[in-house]
Amino acid sequence: MIKKITIDQLVPGMFVHQILEQKGALTVTSQGRVTSGDVVKTLKKRGVKTLAIDTDKAFNVEQPSSSATVEKHQNSPSDQPVKSKKISLENELVRAAKLHEQGKELQKLLLANVQKETPFDASIPKAFSNKLVESVDRNPDALLCLTKIREKDDYLLEHSLNVAILLANFGKYLGMSEEEVQDLSYAGFLHDLGKIKIPDEILHKPGRLTESEMEIMKGHVKHGVDYLKSTEIAQPLIQAISEHHERLDGLGYPAGTKGEDISQAGRMLAIADMYDALTADRVYKAGMPSQKAFSILMSDAPTRLDQSLVQQFIKCLGVYPVGSLVLLSNDKLAMVLEQRDSPFTPLVKVFYSVRSNHYLTPKDVDLSSDKTISINKAVIASDYKIDVNAFFERSVSIG
């Protein structure tokens, strides 16, 4: 079981899963065992305040083992807590990439707890969701970029994480309060935990589900909600999670809730959930371009999805969302890095020649100032048989 403790509660024999709160620029570089009081003293001395431990991995301190390791980084602007101050995409990507990986690991642990019907410390995913919002505060484009870099086999882990990121951005765009944005992101992070209770042959079926299989699949909402009711999760968050498959016309599930009876958070969660599912690469299919997903969302409004919120969601992400691929007028592929004043002229990183069928030395191009190049259309990597993940790791993400 993952449990949140203060540094004063940390003793030898515990297994450190993650640092949650600290002062300065010190991080635990790997999950590890606390083998002596010296390790505890070092963590205290260097500003660690709260952390998560895995009680299932507690051990006898007399056994030989490797200790939790702490690493000191140079103090730099990107290492310090920054509130409401935008920093460069390059700097925030370093932190966001680590955060994204932590999110996948945390999802894995939460799903395992749901599968075994064992409780988890709700403060840990809550603290993580708050970190997502802090990253969005520093630079909203960094985590959005990472939502487009996906592993086909990690859909269940990445989907809820990405929905949490989308909702953090969406809430900020709508001008919601910091607390509201944090709760919204938190709901997104927890919304699909019930899917671990769905048999794999149904959950990962490549074709259309039969009527009976669909009924089983719909049960994931109830599985998740029933589990969360046994935790310390606030009721409004559980309500939003219970509504992410409800639709305004009353034809959603599980309760057939309709119209104004669906909360705003539930409506927003439904939109982000649907968008991420449509654009995600799966083992059996490639995700669709964002523009096609936007079209589907609009076709479901206003009868099924909230039309005003769908329109605001599309404005929030932009015509060409950060992290998406575009074909330029010079027959080159580029990744969208940052939005500009005009939604049609973002900053992009050019990296592939369609005409010559080979990778190029990556180059940033600001389409708002370079009028000789324009975007022809949005594309997906599988159309050109390119590995966009490898490109991103090599040429966009750093650290």
Q: Of the candidates 96, 204, 78, 88, which has an alpha carbon nearest to the alpha carbon of residue 147?
A: 96
pTM: 0.79
One-letter identity of residue 348: V
Q: List Cβ neighbours of 105 (8 Å cut-off, separation of 6 or more).
A: none
- Token output for 378: 């949005």
CATH: 3.60.20.10, 1.10.3210.10, 3.40.50.300, 3.40.50.740. Which one for 116-317? 1.10.3210.10
pLDDT score recorded for residue 75: 33
Q: Three-state SS for 370?
A: coil
| 143 in Cβ contact with 136 (< 8 Å) | yes
pLDDT score recorded for residue 21: 79
Q: List Cβ neighbours of 371 (8 Å cut-off, separation of 6 or more).
A: none
Strand partners, 363: 350
Helix (H) or strand (E) holding 364: strand 358-366
pLDDT score recorded for residue 303: 96
Strand partners, 327: 333, 377
Q: Of the candidates 9, 95, 22, 23, which has an alpha carbon nearest to the alpha carbon of residue 53?
A: 9
pLDDT score recorded for residue 374: 97
The Cα-based distances of 271 to 18, 116, 170 in angstroms read 31, 30, 10
In the chain, alpha helices (H):
37-45, 89-116, 123-138, 140-147, 155-173, 178-190, 200-203, 211-228, 235-242, 264-279, 290-299, 307-317, 388-395
Q: What is the largest CA-CA distance in the chain?
A: 69
Measured at the CA of 243, the angle between CA 237 and CA 249, to 5 degrees, comes to: 150
Q: How many Cα neighbours within 13 Å face the side chain of 296? A: 15
| 192 in Cβ contact with 219 (< 8 Å) | no
Taking the C-alpha atoms of residue 119 and residue 117, their distance in angstroms, rounded to an integer, is 7
pLDDT score recorded for residue 152: 66
Tens digits of pLDDT across the chain (399 residues): 788 888 888 888 888 887 887 775 444 444 678 887 878 887 887 778 888 888 877 877 654 333 344 333 333 333 333 334 478 888 999 999 999 999 999 999 999 999 999 989 999 999 999 999 999 999 999 999 999 887 766 888 999 999 999 999 999 999 999 999 999 999 999 999 999 999 999 999 988 999 999 999 999 999 999 999 999 899 999 999 999 999 999 999 999 999 999 999 999 999 999 999 999 988 778 889 999 999 999 999 999 999 999 999 999 999 999 999 999 999 999 999 998 888 899 999 999 999 999 999 999 999 999 999 999 999 999 899 998 887 777 767 544
Q: List Cβ neighbours of 170 (8 Å cut-off, separation of 6 or more).
A: 184, 268, 271, 272, 312, 313, 316
| 242 in Cβ contact with 255 (< 8 Å) | yes
Q: Of the candidates 94, 142, 86, 158, which has an alpha carbon nearest to the alpha carbon of residue 337?
A: 142
Segments making up each domain of the chain, as ranges: 1-75, 116-317, 325-395
- Token output for 123: 């403060």
